[in-house]
Structure 1
Amino acid sequence: MTTQDNDFSHLDAAGRAAAAVARKPRITVTAVLGLAVLLAWLVLGAMAVRGAKGSLPGAGAPGDFLLRFLPSLPLPDVLERFAALCLTPLPVNGGWFGAEASALVLMWFLMAIAAMLPSAAPMIRTYCEIADTARAKGELVVHPLVLTGGYLTIWLAASIAFAAVTLVVRYIAPEGRLLDPISGLAGAAALAIAGIYQFSNLKQACLTRCRNPFSTLFARWSDRPARIFRLGLEQGVWCLGCCWALMLVMFAVGVTNIFWMALIGLFALVEKQVEGRWTSRVAGTILLVWAAMLLVVSH
């Protein structure tokens, strides 16, 4: 780039501001992703409050008694219908099965955005730093949102799988509310699977890739959008490999339990920043003890 290429003095104030944003996509990425995470938490929080108010005293997810004291956040009509489908779905053999399934997929995807997208911030920031260096040399750069799109595509696919599991749980136990915690053997099994996976070599291999994105992003650098999107897919696979088992915990505490959702999101962020295996092992031990206690209490 030449000095003339960076001269926007002939533009008005709005034009100069737009040009500055175009030259620094990191600003756009931060704003878009921050807004997406905020909106996801707002919608899920509004759903959690509605679910808590609709559950019987002493029932529902852990922490629901606190949510009952909060006012119900207003939602647009389309989101009200979405929340109603998730919280009080029609029987799965009814004519609204497609709408119910789609709502559950969207709900899980919002959970992924709220809890998992923040943990991808270091990876996206690393890409932006490499992109800034390449742009300073006058090279073509693919916008970071393309990388982010590939990453979220993997979590969308995972959301479809989690929604399918949710529907299976409802089919097995149709007498309970769809998003209530599962207990007994099923809940203990979900916690045990999540706990055992924390000690696996596959978990550590995926975690290593997530902790060190620079080498992969630098070695696979390209100015072709398709390749950057594929790179985002690969990073999404590594992230899913780290965190898919933790998402099973949501079945044991209530799928819309925002307290545990926040805790899992915070743990995913910390785990990807702290070297060593101790964080995974501590979490795995807690989950296995919890599974054993739930099994004993249930019987």
Structure 2
Amino acid sequence: MDTPGTGVSRGRIGWQTVPIVALVTYGIALAAWVAVVARLLPMPGGGSGMQMSAPGAPEAMALSNGLWGVVLYLFMWTVMMVAMMYPSSVPLFGMYYKTLDGVSRAGTTARVGAFMGTYALVWGVTGVVPLVVNAVVPLATVAREQTGLLFGGTLVLLAAYQLSPYKNQCLKHCRTPLGFLMEYHRPGVRGAARMSARFSVFCIGCCWALFALMVVVGSMNVLWMAVITVVLSVERIVGLGERLSRGVGVVAAVAGGALLVLSVL
């Protein structure tokens, strides 16, 4: 039987449910952060002279090395998404785990693995977007020649989305995943993957503008990765997350507007 169990309806946390999933999730995220910070992720064109943390550099290197470069970039991007998104997804993974009361240990492991794996896979696919953008508009060149316009415009875009009703709607789903899990629960491993893919769409809708900023400042810039991870984690977990989201929008609007004005003076 694979239906939402009594663990969710009782709201019971329990030492044998969420902590196991939390430890595994944090462990995977930590390993991903170590791989990113220690530069253990392979990228072609290492001798190109480009700094990996520079705006548009990883994307330019990937595109200049054909299919193999794109594959390595998407692998790198997926690891980055795991590092940044998994910590704030612990409540989601833990709640899903608790819907599996009555399922065998092997079945539970397979379903949770499918749920977490699909979540990472969907986020990994989003790495195609910065590659396409860079194929049309080389960010490395634009960042050198029009720094203020590029950063200012991206901040204004971030501000507009952070303050939009679409951001708020997606953020509500990410902050309260229990309702989603109860409404869209599907049995089996395939059902777990389908649920995770569907929920991932809300997460992408919640965070895409922050990741657009990360790509512009440098998708391998560890400092900006850390800052954006903290922001999106607080948005999704902490009680004041919605206020923070709006605050980020206001700050981005002011900073972006100032950069645009200075760039045209």
TM-score range, shorter chain: 0.7 to 0.9
Identify which of 110, 113, 125 aligns with 2:79: 110
Structure 2: where are the runs of 5+ without partners? Answer: 1-15
Identify which of 92, 102, 125 aligns with 1:123: 92
Maintained 8 Å contact 2:45/2:61: no
Deviates more, 1:154-163 or 1:103-112: 103-112
In the alignment, what sits opposite 1:297?
Answer: 262
Maintained 8 Å contact 2:78/2:123: yes
In the alignment, what sits opposite 2:6?
Answer: none
Seen in structure 2, the aligned counterparts of structure 1 residues 130 and 175 have a Cα distance that, compared at 3 Å, is: closer
The 2-side partners of 1:26 and 1:275 are apart by 23
In the alignment, what sits opposite 1:150?
Answer: 118
Alpha-carbon offset, residue 239 of structure 1: 0.5
Seen in structure 2, the aligned counterparts of structure 1 residues 80 and 101 have a Cα distance that, compared at 3 Å, is: closer
The 1-side partners of 2:63 and 2:88 are apart by 38
Seen in structure 2, the aligned counterparts of structure 1 residues 134 and 199 have a Cα distance that, compared at 3 Å, is: farther
In the alignment, what sits opposite 1:262?
Answer: 226
Maintained 8 Å contact 1:115/1:265: yes
The 2-side partners of 1:112 and 1:129 are apart by 24
Alpha-carbon offset, residue 171 of structure 1: 7.0
Seen in structure 2, the aligned counterparts of structure 1 residues 272 and 104 have a Cα distance that, compared at 3 Å, is: same
Maintained 8 Å contact 2:21/2:97: no
In the alignment, what sits opposite 2:249?
Answer: 284
> Aligned Cα RMSD in Å?
3.3
Scaled by the length of structure 2, the TM-score of the pair is 0.76
The 2-side partners of 1:175 and 1:189 are apart by 12
Amino acid at match of 1:260: W
1:101 aligns with 2:66: no
Structure 1: where are the runs of 5+ without partners? Answer: 1-23, 48-74
Seen in structure 2, the aligned counterparts of structure 1 residues 182 and 263 have a Cα distance that, compared at 3 Å, is: farther
Seen in structure 2, the aligned counterparts of structure 1 residues 293 and 127 have a Cα distance that, compared at 3 Å, is: same
The 2-side partners of 1:33 and 1:198 are apart by 27
Deviates more, 1:193-202 or 1:25-34: 25-34
Identify which of 185, 195, 212 aligns with 1:221: 185
The 2-side partners of 1:218 and 1:91 are apart by 44
Q: Relative contact order: is structure 1 or structure 2 higher (C-alpha 8 Å, sep ≥ 6)?
A: 2
The 2-side partners of 1:102 and 1:182 are apart by 29
In the alignment, what sits opposite 2:10?
Answer: none
> Following superposition of structure 1 onto structure 2, how do residues 201-220 of structure 1 map, counting pairs within 5 Å?
201-220=165-184
1:221 partner SS: coil
In the alignment, what sits opposite 1:231?
Answer: 195
Structure ID, larger Rg: 1
Identify which of 11, 21, 44 aligns with 2:36: 44
1:184 aligns with 2:148: yes
The 1-side partners of 2:122 and 2:252 are apart by 25
The 2-side partners of 1:42 and 1:286 are apart by 30
Scaled by the length of structure 1, the TM-score of the pair is 0.69
Seen in structure 2, the aligned counterparts of structure 1 residues 166 and 31 have a Cα distance that, compared at 3 Å, is: farther
Amino acid at match of 1:200: S
The 2-side partners of 1:233 and 1:195 are apart by 27
Maintained 8 Å contact 2:143/2:150: no
Work out the number of aligned pairs and report it: 239
Maintained 8 Å contact 2:97/2:112: yes
1:244 aligns with 2:208: yes
The 2-side partners of 1:174 and 1:31 are apart by 42
